[in-house]
Amino acid sequence: MGFVNPTPIQEQSIPIGLKGLDILGSAQTGTGKTAAFGIPIIENLNKDKNGIAVILAPTRELAKQIYDVIRELLGYRNTLKVTALIGGESITNQLRNLKRGPRIIIGTPGRINDHINRKSLYVKKTKILVLDETDRMLDMGFGIQIDEIVRNMTGKRQTLMFSATIPDDISRLADKYLVNPQRISIGSINQIPKSLKQEILKIRSNEKYDQLVEELKNRSGSVLVFIKTKYACDRMAKKLSFDGVKATAIHGDLKQNRRNRIISDFRNNKFSVLIGTDIVCRGLDVPQIEHVINFDLPQVAEDFIHRIGRTARAGMSGSVVSFITPNDHLKWRAIQKILDPKTKNKISDITSINHKDKVSGDKVRTNDRDKKKASTKNFSKDSQKRKKTFSKNAPKDGSKKKKYENLKKSKSRNKKRLKKPILLKSDNRAKFVDEEIVYKIIKESR
């Protein structure tokens, strides 16, 4: 597999895993977490001939990636059998593979739970349980299914929990499943790789697509664009293809065979732009992704770490561009809160001068405000002019002044005399709008 020196997470996790102790580990994406728990699993299962290992992953792509890595680690001479149980694939093939007696089962919680209910999979002999990307599994609502799977296992087992982020709910889950776990943390929590160049683009919503086309045309190499919804993902791929940018969409509604074909074509450089939803940010291991564009910010702030982790993997360089509209400020603040304070200050200052559209949006808004202020000033000036003209038209002679004042007083007296009639509740006239007409009708009837 080309291993020369172990990564920091592998160097600390493998000795502890070989001793059979529980692990709660966190590290950046692309640092080799799969081998960190894969190697102890293979060594421990070779010693224990009856036990099995169950590895749970949130997405099909991540489960497929773990399956490929484990098979490479096993090699050809090892007799251990491994199988992947994921949704979107033929369940008959999975039943056939389970009859062969695999001892390493990799899959998503939903499909593994289905096989347990079908009684085609027995997990009582589980000696090692691995929860990979646990925070994402909880976000996707797999908490209940994980509980059902663990309930069918024995208490005497080794549990390894790995994730890129460890929020409070993961700590509570670790207290529930792990026994005296060894805490391993590589680097600061939610740290951005040093080889990653990040840019923030303040822009209006109606200018995002034109700016995306400009970014794609100015960048060379493979680009991964994140979009919020599946429908927008398909529509964006078609629109870019119409504008001369060869792009393909990937999301959860596609069949597994189609998704595998798209990822393999992307790895083989058959197209350079992949449009995807957040389902791609976990498990997509393509070494040559050079650029990530956040067309829409993620709904969950922690997903931002996994999005940018698709590039600058294993010490390679990469770049990330995030489009931020005026409506995204709250989301961006939440993202900044989960980042390291030093990194947060750097990110807020990275507003590259080359992109004029960043500042133009703010300028347009300030210009609109200035126009409003100017219009209010002009209105006040006009009113002052009218007052001056009114005072100029007033008569200057003493006799005419008195007549003028008397006319004013008489008008004000007439206004005071014309009071609206007070209607009693007994008249039952609350439904009428014009009370003066009602008053006249009652007066005439009397």
Residue ranges and CATH numbers for the domains of the chain are 8-185 (3.40.50.300), 196-352 (3.40.50.300)
Mean pLDDT, range 174-181, rounded to an integer: 91
pLDDT above 90 (res 380): no
Choose the weakest-confidence range: 271-280, 366-375, 382-391: 366-375
Mean pLDDT, range 240-265, rounded to an integer: 88
Mean pLDDT, range 10-39, rounded to an integer: 89
Q: Name 81's Cβ contacts closer than 8 Å, sequence gap at least 6.
A: 100, 101, 102, 103, 104
pLDDT above 60 (res 401): no
Spatial separation of the C-alpha atoms in residues 156 and 133, rounded to whole Å: 23
Query: How confident is residue 310, by pLDDT bands cut at 50, 70 and 90?
Result: confident
Query: How confident is residue 152, by pLDDT bands cut at 50, 70 and 90?
Result: very high
Distances (CA, A) of 61 to 71, 110, 337, 362: 15, 14, 29, 40
Structure-model confidence comparison of residues 286 and 61, the more confident one: 61
Give the H/E segment covering residue 149. helix 143-151
Q: Name 69's Cβ contacts closer than 8 Å, sequence gap at least 6.
A: 34, 35, 38
pLDDT above 90 (res 129): yes
pLDDT above 80 (res 119): yes
Alpha carbon of residue 105 to chain centroid: 29
- For residue range 87-99, list pLDDT tens digits in order: 888 899 999 999 9
pLDDT at site 79: 87
Query: How confident is residue 249, by pLDDT bands cut at 50, 70 and 90?
Result: very high
Query: How confident is residue 257, by pLDDT bands cut at 50, 70 and 90?
Result: confident
pLDDT above 90 (res 291): yes
pLDDT at site 22: 95
Mean pLDDT, range 353-371, rounded to an integer: 36
Structure-model confidence comparison of residues 260 and 397, the more confident one: 260
Distances (CA, A) of 23 to 69, 187, 365: 20, 17, 52
**Tokens encoding 344:** 């947060």
Query: How confident is residue 323, by pLDDT bands cut at 50, 70 and 90?
Result: very high
pLDDT above 70 (res 389): no
Question: How far is the first Cα of the chain from the last one, in angstroms, to the nearest whole number?
Answer: 108
DSSP 285-332: --TTEEEEEESS--SSTTHHHHHHTTSSGGG--EEEEEEE-GGGHHHH
Angle at 222 between CA 317 and CA 268, to 5 degrees: 115
**Tokens encoding 428:** 């039952």
Can you list the alpha helix ranges (DSSP code H) found in 394-421?
398-417
Structure-model confidence comparison of residues 169 and 128, the more confident one: 128
Mean pLDDT, range 35-47, rounded to an integer: 94
Phi, psi at residue 339, to the nearest 5°? Answer: -85, 160
Residue 240: Cβ within 10 Å count: 21
Distances (CA, A) of 261 to 310, 334, 346: 19, 35, 38
Spatial separation of the C-alpha atoms in residues 32 and 27, rounded to whole Å: 9
pLDDT at site 371: 43
Spatial separation of the C-alpha atoms in residues 439 and 430, rounded to whole Å: 12
Average pLDDT, the chain: 79
Query: Of 35-44, 169-178, 341-350, 437-446, which has the strongest mean pLDDT?
Result: 35-44
SS3 state of residue 102:
coil
pLDDT above 80 (res 260): yes
pLDDT above 70 (res 220): yes
Mean pLDDT, range 122-130, rounded to an integer: 95
Phi, psi at residue 226, to the nearest 5°? Answer: -100, 130
Mean pLDDT, range 427-440, rounded to an integer: 52
pLDDT at site 328: 92
